[in-house]
Amino acid sequence: MNLSRRVSLNTAGQLAGRLYNSTLAFVITALILTRQLTPADFGIFSFHLTLYLLLANVLDFGAGTIVIRQAARDRGGAGRLIGMLIGLKARFALAGTLLLIGVALVFEGAGPRSALLAVAALHLLAHAPSGAGTIFAVDMAFGRAVLAGSLGQTAWLLGTLLLLLGDVREPAAYLLAFGLGPVVNGALSYAWAQRRVQIHFDATPQERRSLWNESWPAGVSMTMASVYFYIDAVMIRPLLGAGAAGHGTGEVAVAHYTAAYRLMTFVLMLPVLFSQVVFPVFSRLWASGPARVRPFFLRTTSFLAALGLLFPATIGLLQHDIMALIYPPDYAPGAASLGILSLAIVFVFCAYPHVLLLLAAGHQRLMMRISIGGAALNVALNLWWVPRMGIEGAAWATVVTELFVLSCAAVSVWRRTGLRYTPRVLLRPLLCAGGAFALLALLLPRLDPGSVALRVGAGIVVACGGALLSGVLPLDLGEDDGGPAAVRSAP
């Protein structure tokens, strides 16, 4: 199958699944919980959920990326690699569970809430068997992985609805419902992965050490990346104060910031899922040398950069309308941080191809240093700006950090691989983004300020028009990636 078609179909399938999952997450967090819980209680829910997501992203400590890279080059060794991956994730999941229980006791004290949070923390253990789903990325066949994730998300929704019907207003109970999702996803991923590969758990100590030596730099890198991506909401609560009885400024600020930040992460599902599809291609092409991977690298960078430019061009004008459309009026103070966070979107979009190329080329130790620098910068900026600027300070810390990571990754790709992305090819996308901004700026004053749905809809139409005119669609990534014919296309 033509590479562009394969990547497009897999990305579209994953986007459909993630759109379903994100829609359910929005229904739960934006439409249900923001109305069922007070802003302070929603802040508590968001605080602990952020910790869950931070730890879930680093449970394989980079081994997942290395397993995909190695198995993409040697499909026959996938079963043994995945077995080692599951074992590694199980160890880190146990440590993460204990950490979450400790955090619950520190912030919530001993009592029924902490007991519920302790049970909810056990969901991390279910992420270990989900490591078997790595085989779907290796084979570029994401149908079962998408279905497992969607069914897990549905379980979260059903658990939340049951609590809603019981008029439960304890935030920890809704975190328990959230844990149902990973449990379902992990069980299904493991069962369906065994239909594609025989998983072995008899790796020798030498094999496990070899995987660990390859993966730990990527693990440190992923951990630091998760820190600078999620730590803002965690730091806001103590930096702005807990207030009386745990219902003060800090919790409310977390709620406002999380509401805006969740909108940004919704947008970021595009480069995340696109990258999951193309990373095995980067790995296979790099094995043939820089000249082989260069066209693919340039096309993927152009595609993501052109799309990323359209978000700050439109969201900045619609930040108040978007918040008013999705959230109750109590969350309006988060609009300013949403406008700031939109600037980070383009930097994240542009960074992904550079990061993937460094990982495919085996420069995970370099990525580790970049991520450590980004995490240190982000924490320092939050410590300085949040007490002085509130949640807007956290948003600016995110923007500066993402710009730092992009700059370091781009320079590193140029110096280590000899490949360089020439910004002049972005002239047309930049003009389209500027045109979208100008058109929307002229159009919005003519629309009723109270018709927020119409105004946001107009912004979406203008942004889609800009994407079509930017020249990156339809997606063109060149011909077949030269991978083995054994790569399966069945779901």
Q: What is the mean pLDDT of residues 42-63?
A: 86
Q: Would you place residue 491 in the very low, low, confident or very high pLDDT band (cuts 50, 70, 90)? A: very low
Residue 244, pLDDT > 50, answer no
Question: H or E element: which one contains 76?
Answer: none
Residue 383, pLDDT > 80, answer yes
In this structure, what are the phi and psi dihedrals at residue 74, rounded to the nearest 5 degrees? -140, 85
Spatial contact of 371 and 222, defined as CB atoms under 8 Å apart? yes
Give the integer Cα–Cα distance in Å for 137 and 71.
Answer: 10
Give the integer Cα–Cα distance in Å for 84 and 79.
Answer: 9
Spatial contact of 250 and 43, defined as CB atoms under 8 Å apart? yes
Token pair 């696109």: residue: 274
pTM of structure: 0.74
Give the integer Cα–Cα distance in Å for 54 and 375.
Answer: 13
Give the integer Cα–Cα distance in Å for 136 and 138.
Answer: 5
The answer to whether the bond into 182 is cis (omega within 30° of 0) is no
Mean pLDDT, all residues of the chain: 84
Q: What angle do CA 180, 183, 185 make, to 5 degrees?
A: 105
Question: Side-chain half-sphere of 430: how many Cα atoms within 13 Å?
Answer: 5
- The per-residue pLDDT for 371 is 87
- The per-residue pLDDT for 179 is 94
- The per-residue pLDDT for 5 is 59
Spatial contact of 172 and 113, defined as CB atoms under 8 Å apart? yes
3-state helix, strand, coil in the chain (%, to 5): 85, 0, 15
Token pair 């590479």: residue: 3
Spatial contact of 138 and 195, defined as CB atoms under 8 Å apart? no
- The per-residue pLDDT for 65 is 74
Spatial contact of 404 and 374, defined as CB atoms under 8 Å apart? yes
Dump pLDDT digits (tens) for 218-237. 777 777 877 777 888 889 98
End-to-end CA distance of the chain: 15
Q: What is the mean pLDDT of residues 31-42?
A: 90
What count of other Cβ atoms lies within 10 Å of the Cβ of residue 337? 30
Most confident of the following: 28-32, 141-145, 381-385: 381-385
Q: What is the mean pLDDT of residues 118-146?
A: 86
Note the Cα 155 to chain centre separation in Å: 20
Spatial contact of 46 and 255, defined as CB atoms under 8 Å apart? yes
Residue 13, pLDDT > 50, answer yes
Dump pLDDT digits (tens) for 404-435. 999 999 999 888 887 777 777 778 888 989 99
- The per-residue pLDDT for 14 is 63
Q: Which of 279, 429, 420 is nearest to 357 (CA)?
A: 279
Residue 359, pLDDT > 60, answer yes
Residue 300, pLDDT > 80, answer yes
- The per-residue pLDDT for 160 is 96
Dump pLDDT digits (tens) for 250-287. 889 999 999 899 888 878 877 877 777 777 778 778 87
Give the integer Cα–Cα distance in Å for 403 and 288.
Answer: 31
Which residues, 6 or more positions from 44, have their beta carbon under 8 angstroms from its beta carbon? 108, 171, 172, 246, 251, 254
Which residues, 6 or more positions from 389, have their beta carbon under 8 angstroms from its beta carbon? 396
CA distances 142 to 6, 199, 296, Å, are: 11, 18, 21
In one letter, which amino acid is 48? H
Spatial contact of 332 and 391, defined as CB atoms under 8 Å apart? no
Q: Would you place residue 205 in the very low, low, confident or very high pLDDT band (cuts 50, 70, 90)? A: confident
DSSP reduced 3-state for 89? helix
Dump pLDDT digits (tens) for 425-471. 778 888 989 999 999 999 999 999 989 999 999 999 999 898 888 87
Q: Which of 264, 307, 266, 269 is nearest to 395 (CA)?
A: 264
Q: What angle do CA 190, 194, 200 make, to 5 degrees?
A: 95
Give the integer Cα–Cα distance in Å for 317 and 425.
Answer: 26
Give the integer Cα–Cα distance in Å for 239 and 216.
Answer: 31
Q: Would you place residue 76 in the very low, low, confident or very high pLDDT band (cuts 50, 70, 90)? A: confident
DSSP reduced 3-state for 456? helix
Residue 319, pLDDT > 50, answer yes
Give the integer Cα–Cα distance in Å for 412 and 414.
Answer: 5
